[in-house]
A and B are shown apart, each in its own frame.
Chain A
Amino acid sequence: MRELRDWLAASGLCIALATGAAATGARAAEGEQVTVTGEVIDTWCYYSGVMGWYDTVVGSAHHTCAMWCAAGGIPVGILADDGTVYMVMKWEGDPEIADGTAMLDVQSQRITANGTLHKVDDINYLMVAEVVANEGIVNRSHEDFGVVPPFAFPDPNKDK
Protein backbone atom coordinates (compact mmCIF):
# COMPACT_ATOMS: atom_id res chain seq x y z
CA MET A 1 0.00 0.00 0.00
CA ARG A 2 2.80 2.31 0.97
CA GLU A 3 4.56 1.45 -2.28
CA LEU A 4 1.43 2.36 -4.23
CA ARG A 5 1.10 5.64 -2.35
CA ASP A 6 4.75 6.52 -3.00
CA TRP A 7 4.33 5.65 -6.66
CA LEU A 8 1.24 7.81 -7.01
CA ALA A 9 3.02 10.69 -5.32
CA ALA A 10 6.07 10.30 -7.55
CA SER A 11 4.05 9.92 -10.73
CA GLY A 12 1.92 12.89 -9.83
CA LEU A 13 5.02 14.99 -9.41
CA CYS A 14 6.42 13.78 -12.72
CA ILE A 15 3.19 14.48 -14.55
CA ALA A 16 2.99 17.92 -12.99
CA LEU A 17 6.55 18.65 -14.06
CA ALA A 18 5.99 17.23 -17.50
CA THR A 19 2.81 19.13 -18.18
CA GLY A 20 4.14 22.32 -16.68
CA ALA A 21 4.96 23.67 -20.11
CA ALA A 22 1.33 23.40 -21.12
CA ALA A 23 0.23 25.20 -18.03
CA THR A 24 2.77 27.96 -18.56
CA GLY A 25 2.09 28.38 -22.26
CA ALA A 26 1.40 31.87 -23.49
CA ARG A 27 -0.65 33.77 -21.00
CA ALA A 28 -0.96 37.30 -19.87
CA ALA A 29 1.08 37.99 -16.77
CA GLU A 30 2.20 40.88 -14.65
CA GLY A 31 5.88 40.48 -15.32
CA GLU A 32 8.77 41.71 -13.22
CA GLN A 33 10.26 45.19 -13.18
CA VAL A 34 13.92 44.98 -14.10
CA THR A 35 16.91 47.04 -15.12
CA VAL A 36 19.06 45.42 -17.78
CA THR A 37 22.52 46.42 -18.98
CA GLY A 38 24.03 44.92 -22.09
CA GLU A 39 24.73 45.13 -25.79
CA VAL A 40 21.93 45.46 -28.31
CA ILE A 41 22.38 42.47 -30.63
CA ASP A 42 21.05 40.68 -33.68
CA THR A 43 19.61 37.54 -32.12
CA TRP A 44 19.28 35.40 -35.24
CA CYS A 45 22.96 35.58 -36.13
CA TYR A 46 23.88 35.18 -32.47
CA TYR A 47 21.90 31.99 -31.90
CA SER A 48 21.97 30.36 -35.33
CA GLY A 49 25.66 30.65 -36.14
CA VAL A 50 24.73 31.53 -39.70
CA MET A 51 27.45 34.19 -39.95
CA GLY A 52 30.00 32.85 -37.51
CA TRP A 53 30.79 32.09 -33.89
CA TYR A 54 29.18 34.01 -31.04
CA ASP A 55 32.01 36.48 -30.41
CA THR A 56 32.10 37.48 -34.07
CA VAL A 57 28.45 38.48 -34.45
CA VAL A 58 28.39 41.18 -31.81
CA GLY A 59 29.99 44.61 -31.54
CA SER A 60 31.39 46.75 -34.33
CA ALA A 61 32.24 43.72 -36.51
CA HIS A 62 28.58 42.97 -36.91
CA HIS A 63 27.10 46.46 -36.74
CA THR A 64 25.85 46.78 -40.31
CA CYS A 65 24.45 43.25 -40.34
CA ALA A 66 22.71 43.96 -37.03
CA MET A 67 21.01 46.94 -38.64
CA TRP A 68 19.96 44.80 -41.61
CA CYS A 69 18.45 42.17 -39.33
CA ALA A 70 16.67 44.69 -37.12
CA ALA A 71 15.21 46.46 -40.16
CA GLY A 72 14.25 43.06 -41.55
CA GLY A 73 12.11 42.30 -38.52
CA ILE A 74 14.34 39.80 -36.74
CA PRO A 75 13.95 40.13 -32.97
CA VAL A 76 16.44 42.48 -31.35
CA GLY A 77 18.03 41.37 -28.11
CA ILE A 78 20.03 42.78 -25.24
CA LEU A 79 23.01 40.58 -24.36
CA ALA A 80 23.79 41.03 -20.67
CA ASP A 81 27.25 40.51 -19.22
CA ASP A 82 26.27 37.13 -17.77
CA GLY A 83 25.27 35.84 -21.21
CA THR A 84 21.54 36.20 -20.71
CA VAL A 85 19.72 37.43 -23.81
CA TYR A 86 16.65 39.59 -23.33
CA MET A 87 14.35 39.62 -26.34
CA VAL A 88 12.96 43.12 -26.87
CA MET A 89 9.20 43.04 -27.46
CA LYS A 90 8.49 46.71 -26.77
CA TRP A 91 10.76 49.68 -27.22
CA GLU A 92 10.08 52.68 -25.01
CA GLY A 93 6.57 51.34 -24.52
CA ASP A 94 5.80 50.75 -28.20
CA PRO A 95 4.99 47.16 -29.28
CA GLU A 96 5.08 47.94 -33.00
CA ILE A 97 8.81 47.56 -33.43
CA ALA A 98 9.24 44.70 -35.88
CA ASP A 99 10.23 46.96 -38.77
CA GLY A 100 13.28 47.76 -36.68
CA THR A 101 13.23 51.50 -37.28
CA ALA A 102 12.99 52.52 -33.64
CA MET A 103 16.04 50.47 -32.69
CA LEU A 104 18.38 51.04 -35.63
CA ASP A 105 20.30 53.77 -33.85
CA VAL A 106 21.17 51.59 -30.86
CA GLN A 107 22.40 48.51 -32.68
CA SER A 108 25.65 47.18 -31.17
CA GLN A 109 25.54 49.81 -28.42
CA ARG A 110 25.79 49.09 -24.72
CA ILE A 111 22.70 50.36 -22.99
CA THR A 112 20.91 50.21 -19.69
CA ALA A 113 17.14 49.91 -19.90
CA ASN A 114 14.27 49.72 -17.47
CA GLY A 115 11.32 47.55 -18.32
CA THR A 116 9.11 44.60 -17.60
CA LEU A 117 10.44 41.07 -17.90
CA HIS A 118 8.24 38.12 -18.81
CA LYS A 119 10.06 34.81 -18.68
CA VAL A 120 8.09 32.18 -20.59
CA ASP A 121 9.42 28.79 -21.66
CA ASP A 122 13.03 29.83 -21.15
CA ILE A 123 12.80 33.00 -23.22
CA ASN A 124 13.30 36.37 -21.53
CA TYR A 125 10.82 38.75 -23.12
CA LEU A 126 11.61 42.35 -22.23
CA MET A 127 9.20 45.24 -22.58
CA VAL A 128 11.60 48.17 -22.58
CA ALA A 129 10.00 51.21 -20.96
CA GLU A 130 12.99 53.54 -20.95
CA VAL A 131 16.63 53.61 -21.92
CA VAL A 132 18.39 55.23 -18.98
CA ALA A 133 22.00 55.03 -20.20
CA ASN A 134 23.83 54.54 -23.47
CA GLU A 135 27.59 54.02 -23.62
CA GLY A 136 27.65 53.68 -27.41
CA ILE A 137 29.53 50.88 -29.13
CA VAL A 138 32.14 49.64 -26.68
CA ASN A 139 32.82 46.23 -28.23
CA ARG A 140 35.33 46.98 -31.01
CA SER A 141 35.11 43.44 -32.31
CA HIS A 142 36.19 44.43 -35.84
CA GLU A 143 39.71 44.79 -34.50
CA ASP A 144 39.77 41.02 -33.89
CA PHE A 145 37.42 39.65 -36.52
CA GLY A 146 37.16 42.20 -39.30
CA VAL A 147 33.62 42.76 -40.54
CA VAL A 148 31.14 39.88 -40.22
CA PRO A 149 29.93 39.05 -42.79
CA PRO A 150 32.69 40.58 -44.94
CA PHE A 151 30.24 41.71 -47.61
CA ALA A 152 28.73 44.12 -45.07
CA PHE A 153 31.75 46.32 -45.82
CA PRO A 154 32.12 46.28 -49.61
CA ASP A 155 35.53 46.94 -51.10
CA PRO A 156 35.37 50.67 -51.97
CA ASN A 157 37.96 50.19 -54.71
CA LYS A 158 35.61 47.95 -56.67
CA ASP A 159 33.16 50.80 -57.10
CA LYS A 160 35.77 53.07 -58.64
Chain B
Amino acid sequence: MRILGMIAAVALLAGPALAQDFSEGSEAKSWNLTGERKARFAAKVVDAPCALTGDCPEDCGAGLRQMVLIREADGKTLLTFKNVQPIFTGATVDLAAYCGQTVTVDGLLVGDPEYTKGAEIMQVQIVTTADGTAAKTNQWSKDWAAKNPDVGGKGPWFRRDPRINDRIAKTGRLGLGLEEDQKYIEENF
Protein backbone atom coordinates (compact mmCIF):
# COMPACT_ATOMS: atom_id res chain seq x y z
CA MET B 1 0.00 0.00 0.00
CA ARG B 2 2.82 2.35 0.90
CA ILE B 3 4.50 1.51 -2.38
CA LEU B 4 1.33 2.43 -4.25
CA GLY B 5 1.19 5.72 -2.38
CA MET B 6 4.78 6.43 -3.31
CA ILE B 7 4.08 5.67 -6.96
CA ALA B 8 1.06 7.98 -6.87
CA ALA B 9 3.18 10.73 -5.32
CA VAL B 10 5.82 10.35 -8.01
CA ALA B 11 3.15 10.42 -10.70
CA LEU B 12 1.75 13.63 -9.27
CA LEU B 13 5.14 15.26 -9.18
CA ALA B 14 5.97 14.16 -12.69
CA GLY B 15 2.48 14.75 -14.06
CA PRO B 16 3.01 17.88 -16.15
CA ALA B 17 5.68 16.26 -18.24
CA LEU B 18 4.07 12.88 -18.82
CA ALA B 19 1.95 12.36 -21.90
CA GLN B 20 -0.76 14.95 -21.54
CA ASP B 21 -4.12 15.52 -23.07
CA PHE B 22 -4.11 19.11 -24.27
CA SER B 23 -7.63 18.99 -25.68
CA GLU B 24 -9.33 20.96 -22.90
CA GLY B 25 -10.89 24.14 -24.25
CA SER B 26 -9.93 23.35 -27.85
CA GLU B 27 -12.22 24.66 -30.55
CA ALA B 28 -10.22 23.10 -33.36
CA LYS B 29 -12.15 21.59 -36.24
CA SER B 30 -11.63 17.95 -37.12
CA TRP B 31 -9.97 17.10 -40.44
CA ASN B 32 -10.33 13.32 -39.92
CA LEU B 33 -6.57 12.87 -40.03
CA THR B 34 -4.50 9.89 -38.96
CA GLY B 35 -4.14 9.84 -35.17
CA GLU B 36 -5.82 13.22 -34.91
CA ARG B 37 -6.33 14.77 -31.47
CA LYS B 38 -7.28 18.30 -30.55
CA ALA B 39 -4.70 20.39 -28.72
CA ARG B 40 -4.79 23.85 -27.18
CA PHE B 41 -1.83 25.11 -25.21
CA ALA B 42 0.41 28.07 -24.49
CA ALA B 43 3.67 28.14 -26.37
CA LYS B 44 6.50 30.41 -27.39
CA VAL B 45 6.75 31.01 -31.13
CA VAL B 46 10.28 30.68 -32.52
CA ASP B 47 11.80 29.85 -35.88
CA ALA B 48 13.42 26.43 -36.04
CA PRO B 49 16.99 27.45 -36.93
CA CYS B 50 16.86 29.89 -34.01
CA ALA B 51 15.72 27.21 -31.57
CA LEU B 52 18.29 24.73 -32.87
CA THR B 53 21.36 26.85 -33.52
CA GLY B 54 20.86 30.22 -31.82
CA ASP B 55 20.70 32.10 -35.13
CA CYS B 56 17.69 34.28 -34.32
CA PRO B 57 16.50 37.08 -36.64
CA GLU B 58 14.02 39.45 -35.00
CA ASP B 59 11.26 38.57 -37.46
CA CYS B 60 11.82 34.77 -37.37
CA GLY B 61 12.54 34.97 -41.10
CA ALA B 62 9.22 36.66 -41.93
CA GLY B 63 7.62 33.41 -43.03
CA LEU B 64 10.65 32.03 -44.85
CA ARG B 65 11.90 29.90 -41.96
CA GLN B 66 10.13 26.87 -40.59
CA MET B 67 8.54 27.55 -37.21
CA VAL B 68 8.43 25.65 -33.94
CA LEU B 69 6.36 26.02 -30.80
CA ILE B 70 7.98 25.61 -27.41
CA ARG B 71 5.15 24.38 -25.21
CA GLU B 72 4.93 26.15 -21.87
CA ALA B 73 3.61 23.15 -19.93
CA ASP B 74 6.52 20.83 -20.58
CA GLY B 75 9.09 22.67 -22.66
CA LYS B 76 8.55 20.33 -25.58
CA THR B 77 9.44 21.61 -29.04
CA LEU B 78 6.81 20.97 -31.71
CA LEU B 79 7.38 21.56 -35.40
CA THR B 80 4.41 23.20 -37.08
CA PHE B 81 3.34 21.67 -40.38
CA LYS B 82 0.10 23.25 -41.44
CA ASN B 83 -2.16 26.26 -41.16
CA VAL B 84 -5.96 26.09 -41.30
CA GLN B 85 -6.33 26.65 -45.04
CA PRO B 86 -7.13 23.48 -47.04
CA ILE B 87 -4.86 24.50 -49.91
CA PHE B 88 -1.45 22.84 -49.27
CA THR B 89 -0.17 25.64 -47.05
CA GLY B 90 2.06 25.66 -44.00
CA ALA B 91 1.94 27.82 -40.90
CA THR B 92 5.13 29.83 -41.24
CA VAL B 93 3.57 33.03 -42.56
CA ASP B 94 0.89 33.01 -39.87
CA LEU B 95 3.24 32.20 -37.00
CA ALA B 96 6.08 34.54 -37.93
CA ALA B 97 3.74 37.40 -37.03
CA TYR B 98 4.01 36.21 -33.42
CA CYS B 99 7.80 35.76 -33.41
CA GLY B 100 9.15 35.60 -29.87
CA GLN B 101 5.73 35.85 -28.26
CA THR B 102 4.05 33.37 -25.96
CA VAL B 103 0.61 32.72 -27.41
CA THR B 104 -2.10 30.10 -27.13
CA VAL B 105 -2.33 27.84 -30.14
CA ASP B 106 -5.32 25.68 -30.95
CA GLY B 107 -5.26 22.96 -33.53
CA LEU B 108 -4.64 19.30 -34.20
CA LEU B 109 -1.84 16.94 -33.31
CA VAL B 110 -1.70 14.19 -35.91
CA GLY B 111 0.11 11.04 -36.90
CA ASP B 112 0.34 7.33 -36.26
CA PRO B 113 2.91 6.82 -33.47
CA GLU B 114 4.43 3.94 -35.43
CA TYR B 115 5.44 6.43 -38.10
CA THR B 116 5.92 9.63 -36.12
CA LYS B 117 8.07 7.76 -33.58
CA GLY B 118 7.20 10.17 -30.78
CA ALA B 119 7.29 13.34 -32.82
CA GLU B 120 4.27 15.61 -32.37
CA ILE B 121 3.03 16.93 -35.71
CA MET B 122 0.96 20.09 -35.34
CA GLN B 123 -1.62 21.83 -37.47
CA VAL B 124 -2.28 25.26 -35.99
CA GLN B 125 -5.79 26.56 -36.63
CA ILE B 126 -6.14 29.48 -34.22
CA VAL B 127 -3.61 31.71 -32.44
CA THR B 128 -4.66 33.77 -29.42
CA THR B 129 -2.38 36.46 -28.08
CA ALA B 130 -1.90 37.42 -24.42
CA ASP B 131 -4.53 40.18 -24.73
CA GLY B 132 -7.11 37.65 -25.90
CA THR B 133 -7.09 38.50 -29.59
CA ALA B 134 -7.74 35.36 -31.60
CA ALA B 135 -6.91 34.89 -35.29
CA LYS B 136 -7.32 32.01 -37.69
CA THR B 137 -4.17 30.91 -39.47
CA ASN B 138 -5.41 31.90 -42.90
CA GLN B 139 -2.89 34.49 -44.03
CA TRP B 140 -0.88 32.37 -46.44
CA SER B 141 -3.06 32.90 -49.51
CA LYS B 142 -3.19 36.66 -48.93
CA ASP B 143 0.58 36.71 -48.64
CA TRP B 144 0.93 34.72 -51.87
CA ALA B 145 -1.47 37.07 -53.69
CA ALA B 146 0.48 40.10 -52.49
CA LYS B 147 3.75 38.58 -53.72
CA ASN B 148 2.27 37.53 -57.07
CA PRO B 149 0.18 40.49 -58.21
CA ASP B 150 0.75 39.77 -61.89
CA VAL B 151 -0.31 36.14 -61.83
CA GLY B 152 -3.60 35.85 -63.62
CA GLY B 153 -5.95 33.00 -64.34
CA LYS B 154 -8.65 31.32 -62.36
CA GLY B 155 -8.54 28.83 -59.55
CA PRO B 156 -6.52 28.35 -56.40
CA TRP B 157 -2.94 29.51 -56.09
CA PHE B 158 -1.43 26.07 -56.65
CA ARG B 159 -2.97 25.90 -60.14
CA ARG B 160 -1.52 29.28 -61.03
CA ASP B 161 1.85 29.45 -59.26
CA PRO B 162 4.42 30.10 -62.02
CA ARG B 163 7.16 28.18 -60.19
CA ILE B 164 5.09 25.02 -60.22
CA ASN B 165 3.65 25.44 -63.68
CA ASP B 166 7.12 26.00 -65.12
CA ARG B 167 8.31 22.73 -63.66
CA ILE B 168 5.24 20.81 -64.78
CA ALA B 169 5.84 22.17 -68.29
CA LYS B 170 9.41 20.82 -68.22
CA THR B 171 9.25 17.54 -66.30
CA GLY B 172 5.55 16.73 -66.18
CA ARG B 173 3.09 16.09 -63.38
CA LEU B 174 4.81 12.82 -62.51
CA GLY B 175 8.23 14.45 -62.51
CA LEU B 176 9.47 11.81 -64.95
CA GLY B 177 9.36 13.78 -68.17
CA LEU B 178 6.66 14.74 -70.63
CA GLU B 179 6.73 11.36 -72.37
CA GLU B 180 5.78 9.62 -69.14
CA ASP B 181 2.93 12.10 -68.66
CA GLN B 182 1.67 11.38 -72.17
CA LYS B 183 1.79 7.65 -71.53
CA TYR B 184 -0.18 8.16 -68.32
CA ILE B 185 -2.79 10.20 -70.17
CA GLU B 186 -3.21 7.53 -72.82
CA GLU B 187 -3.65 4.81 -70.20
CA ASN B 188 -5.91 6.68 -67.79
CA PHE B 189 -8.07 9.25 -69.57
Residues of chain A touching chain B, judged by Cβ–Cβ distance below 8 Å, are 3, 7, 10-11, 14-15, 17-29, 31, 43-44, 46-50, 54, 60-61, 63-65, 67-69, 71-75, 83-84, 87, 89-90, 95-101, 104-105, 107-109, 118, 120-123, 125, 127, 137, 140, 142, 146-147, 152-153, 155-157
Residues of chain B touching chain A, judged by Cβ–Cβ distance below 8 Å, are 2, 6, 9-10, 13-18, 31, 33-34, 46-49, 51-55, 61, 63-66, 68, 70-71, 74-79, 81-82, 87-93, 110-112, 115-121, 123, 140, 158, 161, 163-164, 167-168, 173-176, 180-181, 184-185, 188-189
Q: Do the beta carbons of B10 and A11 come within 8 Å of each other?
A: yes
Contacts of A67 in B (CB 8 A): 164, 167-168
Q: How far is the CB of B140 from chain A (nearest CB, A)?
A: 7
The answer for the CA separation of A73 and B189 in the assembled complex, in Å, is: 31
Q: How far is the CB of A37 from chain B (nearest CB, A)?
A: 19
Contacts of A123 in B (CB 8 A): 77, 79, 119
Q: Do the beta carbons of B189 and A121 come within 8 Å of each other?
A: no
A-B contact pairs, 16 of them (CB 8 A): A15-B14, A19-B17, A25-B74, A26-B77, A28-B54, A31-B53, A63-B175, A65-B88, A71-B164, A74-B81, A89-B48, A97-B65, A101-B163, A121-B118, A127-B53, A137-B175
The answer for the CA separation of A99 and B81 in the assembled complex, in Å, is: 13
Question: 10 extra interchain contacts, Cβ-Cβ under 8 A, other than A28-B54, A73-B93?
Answer: A47-B34, A47-B116, A48-B121, A60-B175, A60-B176, A83-B115, A108-B175, A121-B119, A121-B120, A125-B52
Q: How far is the CB of A125 from chain B (nearest CB, A)?
A: 6
Contacts of B15 in A (CB 8 A): 18
Known contacts A11-B9, A60-B176, A73-B92: does B75 contact A47 (CB below 8 Å)? no
Q: Do the beta carbons of A27 and B51 come within 8 Å of each other?
A: yes
Q: Do the beta carbons of B55 and A95 come within 8 Å of each other?
A: yes
Q: Do the beta carbons of B173 and A96 come within 8 Å of each other?
A: no
Q: How far is the CB of A92 from chain B (nearest CB, A)?
A: 14
Q: Do the beta carbons of A107 and B75 come within 8 Å of each other?
A: no
Known contacts A26-B51, A101-B163: does B64 contact A96 (CB below 8 Å)? yes
Q: Do the beta carbons of B75 and A89 come within 8 Å of each other?
A: no
Q: How far is the CB of B176 from chain A (nearest CB, A)?
A: 6
The answer for the CA separation of A157 and B176 in the assembled complex, in Å, is: 21
Q: Do the beta carbons of B175 and A68 come within 8 Å of each other?
A: no
Contacts of B158 in A (CB 8 A): 68, 71-72
Contacts of B189 in A (CB 8 A): 155-157
Closest A-chain residue to B111, C-beta based?
A47
